[in-house]
Structure formats: structure tokens, C-alpha cells
Amino acid sequence: MNNSKTTFRLGELFCGPGGIGLGAKNAQIATNGNIFSIVHAWATDYDKDTCDTYRYNICPNSSKSVICRDIRKLDYNVLARISDIDGLAFGFPCNDFSVVGEQKGINGVYGPLYTYGIKALRKFRPKWFFAENVGGLRNSNEGQTFQTILEELHAAGYRITPHLYKFEKYGVPQARHRIIIIGIREDLNISFHVPSPVPYSDIDISCRNAIENPPMPLNAPNSELTRHAPAVIERLKHIKPGENAFTADLPEHLRLKVKGAKISQIYKRLDPDRPAYTVTGSGGGGTHVYHWSENRALTNRERARLQTFPDDFVFCGSKESVRKQIGMAVPPKGTKIVFEAILKSFAGIEYPSITQNINYSPRLLESKGEYSVGVATL
């Protein structure tokens, strides 16, 4: 008997290099002779190298389905002409909500960009959506920004499940915490539950295991070494695994003369027996992520392993561009787990789940006939 197929066409805004796209592409569920999967429909981002990376790895046979354009100048009818969609993913830019940076929130350059996701939900009416951002989003503007976003996602016609995922609990060798909001269209009698991390508790998530097993291929792409100044190499010789430039016992001439906050990731070596600290898109001033025993920064390929990209995933652009792409991406192995939970929800398959750690309860305001949202963050 031939299997039947249920396929969800995915559109992506702010697609990045393909962390979300690869997780979706790899997600698949089989039940009662029916295969549930997700296929790429279209994607858009504003950065050329990022779009080239996405095309090369996610949709090499349909390069025109990736639109490289500033979303503020993008006519959504261009996307509609490519394909209808059943699901929408948007990891809207997090720069203004991250704990690293000025935290301008919704008033920054990037903060308002989530509204383009709302606009897409109203135009395309997908069956579900996957929205992602940094954990710092909860604290922007004393929580009001997050509440506004949840209100607008709900008002677009979706039952939403926001949750702060700690990806190291899901088999990712990196302490990476991201808010993911899953929405299911309200007219569908389908509920989504946060997948439990318990099935992944026995995975070795040490950065040593991630970087050394299997051994890195000699011809692995994006493996260029960083050229360090002699002073940087000398400084690293005095920093032990897990230490940074401020906790290590450095000679006076190698100490950093920094006023104010002492950022913990500056020249911080990995602890080989623990998951890596968060890989970021920055790279200057000692933020490359540093090997636990060799006096050097990690290569982009090693950073990509910490993000769970396979070795044959090729990043396009200069070494610096690739570093930024990797740091801004979402771990594909983590997103695959969430996408498979969506597929199981639509397939009617029960799966181990946990209670969402961000409480969300819409309530009707009788005076205005509008919805309000109660949000309790961690």
C-alpha cells in the first residue's frame, strides 16, 4: 500500500541562512500510512550573502523562490505569486531585544519589524506559524513590548503557545535560549503542546563532543583560521577553560582596560565538558568563541557545529559575513524538534510534552470588544 502524504508549504520572513528552514526541511512524521512533512515555498531576507547561503542549502533547484529585499520595501504580492503557504516562519531580527547591545526594544530600528510577520499572517492566513526571538524580548520596555506582540499575534486569528526554549536541554551543544511562539489558526480544532526535553536528556552536549566527534573533515567548508595578534595569543595562554579575560589571572600588561560592565564572553575559553556558551554574530574585541586548549578562536565550521549545522552546509560570503550568519541563526536540530511537534499536532499524534513556561491567557475586554493578554514571564 502506498503511503499518502500531507505536505505543508512553508514561507519564511527574515529567513537567515537556513537554521529554521533546515529544521523544517528535515522534520517528518509517519503515522497510519500517512507521511507529514514541510517543504520550502518561499523565503526572504535583506542580506545578499544570507540569501545565497539559504538558496545553496535549502532550495538549490528553486533559487528564484528566495527574494533578497528589505522587507519594508517588499510587496507581499511578489511572494503570493510564487506560492500559497500553509505555514509561516519568521525569526524577526532580535538586535533591539538582545541582552548584548543597547536594548532599544520596539523603538529601535529592528524592533518594529515583527509587524511584518503580523501583516503576512493576515494576508496569507497560514494554518500555523513559528515565530522566534531572543529571551530578552520578555523584558523589553518592562514587558510591554512582549505583551503587545502576543496581543497582535492572537488578534491576527491564532491560538498561541509562547515558550522559552533552552536548546541545550534538547540536545544542542550550546546554552542558547530563545522564545518560540507557535500559533495555530483559530478555526482549526488543533492544539499544540511544548515538546518535552526528556527524550534528549542522554545526548552528549559537551562542546568537545560536538567539535571533535566525528573528526572535522580536512576539506570542510568555512574552516579558515582567524589571524590573531601576538598579544591575543599571549593572553589566551593565561586563560584556562571556562575562564574569560576578567576572571583569569592575567599579567598586568595583558589585562583589558575596560570601564563599566565586564562582559563575561570576552576572550572566554570553552569548557570542553559543558555545552558552549551562546554563539553570537559579533566577533570583534574578543568575542569569537575560543578553543579550550588551542590558543585560537574557533573556526566558523566549529561554530556551525555548535549551532548543529551539518558539515556539508556551506555558508556563502566572506569569513566575517559567515561568522555573523552563524551567530544569528537558530539551531536546526532544535527547530526540527519543534516543527515535528507541529506535525504531530496536525497528525493527531500524542507526544511527550511540558507546560509552557510563559503563561498566556487572552481575555475579552467587554468595554471595547477587544482582546487583552495576561503574560507572566519567568
Q: pLDDT, tens digit, for every residue of 200-252?
A: 999 999 999 999 999 999 999 999 999 999 999 999 999 999 999 999 999 99
Q: How far apart are the C-alpha atoms of 217 and 14, rounded to whole Å?
A: 31
Q: How far apart are the C-alpha atoms of 244 and 239, rounded to whole Å?
A: 6
Marked catalytic residue, from 51, 59, 94, 207: 94
Please give the residue that has the higher pLDDT: either 15 or 136. Answer: 15
Largest CA distance in the chain: 74
pLDDT value of residue 262? 67
What are the cell numbers at 129? 506559524
Condensed to tens digits (0 to 9), the pLDDT of residues 317-365 reads 999 999 999 999 999 999 999 999 999 999 999 999 999 999 877 754 3
Condensed to tens digits (0 to 9), the pLDDT of residues 150-173 reads 999 999 999 999 999 999 999 999
Q: Is the predicted pLDDT of residue 376 greater than 90, yes or no? A: no
pLDDT value of residue 217? 95
pLDDT value of residue 91? 87
Condensed to tens digits (0 to 9), the pLDDT of residues 258-282 reads 766 567 889 999 999 999 999 998 7
Give the CATH number, domain containing residue 170: 3.40.50.150
Does 344 fall in a domain?
A: yes
Does 241 fall in a domain?
A: no
The amino acid sitting at 174 is Q
Does 151 fall in a domain?
A: yes
What are the cell numbers at 57? 542549502
Choose among 256, 235, 241: nearest CA to 291.
241
pLDDT value of residue 258? 76
Choose among 126, 118, 132, 130: nearest CA to 186.
126
Q: How far apart are the C-alpha atoms of 16 and 280, rounded to whole Å?
A: 14
pLDDT value of residue 257? 82
Active site residue 51: no
34-45 and 4-13 strand pairing: parallel
pLDDT value of residue 138? 79
Does 362 fall in a domain?
A: yes
Domain range for 370: 4-204+331-376
**Mean pLDDT, range 117-122, rounded to an integer:** 96
Partners of 196 in the beta sheet?
A: none
Global pTM? 0.91
Does 15 fall in a domain?
A: yes
Does 262 fall in a domain?
A: no
What are the cell numbers at 64? 528564484
Q: Grade residue 109 by pLDDT with cuts at 50, 70 and 90.
A: very low
pLDDT value of residue 378? 37
Q: Is the predicted pLDDT of residue 108 greater than 50, yes or no? A: no
Condensed to tens digits (0 to 9), the pLDDT of residues 34-82 reads 999 999 999 999 999 999 999 999 999 999 999 999 999 999 999 999 9
How many domains does one find in the chain? 1
Cis peptide before 162 (omega within 30 of 0): no
Does 153 fall in a domain?
A: yes
**Mean pLDDT, range 6-26, rounded to an integer:** 98
Q: How far apart are the C-alpha atoms of 28 and 21, rounded to whole Å?
A: 13
Q: Is the predicted pLDDT of residue 148 greater than 70, yes or no? A: yes
Q: Please enumerate in sequence order all residues whose Cβ is within 8 A of that of 101, keeping only pairs 6 or more positions apart, or say none.
A: 95
**Alpha carbon 100 to chain centroid, angstroms:** 16
CA-to-CA dists, residue 184 to 51, 125, 137, 138, 153, angstroms: 28, 10, 21, 21, 10
List, in sequence order, the alpha helices (H) in the chain: 19-26, 48-58, 76-82, 114-124, 144-155, 207-212, 230-236, 300-306, 319-328, 332-347
Reduced to 3 states (helix: H, G, I; strand: E, B; else coil), residue 7 is strand
CA angle 341, 343, 347 (to 5 degrees): 115
CA-to-CA dists, residue 113 to 17, 156, 338, angstroms: 18, 16, 23
CA-to-CA dists, residue 280 to 66, 150, 325, angstroms: 25, 26, 9
- Least confident interval from 26-30, 90-94, 165-169, 208-212: 90-94
Tell me phi and psi for residue 161, to 5 degrees: -130, 95
Tell me phi and psi for residue 96, to 5 degrees: -85, -5
Does 78 fall in a domain?
A: yes
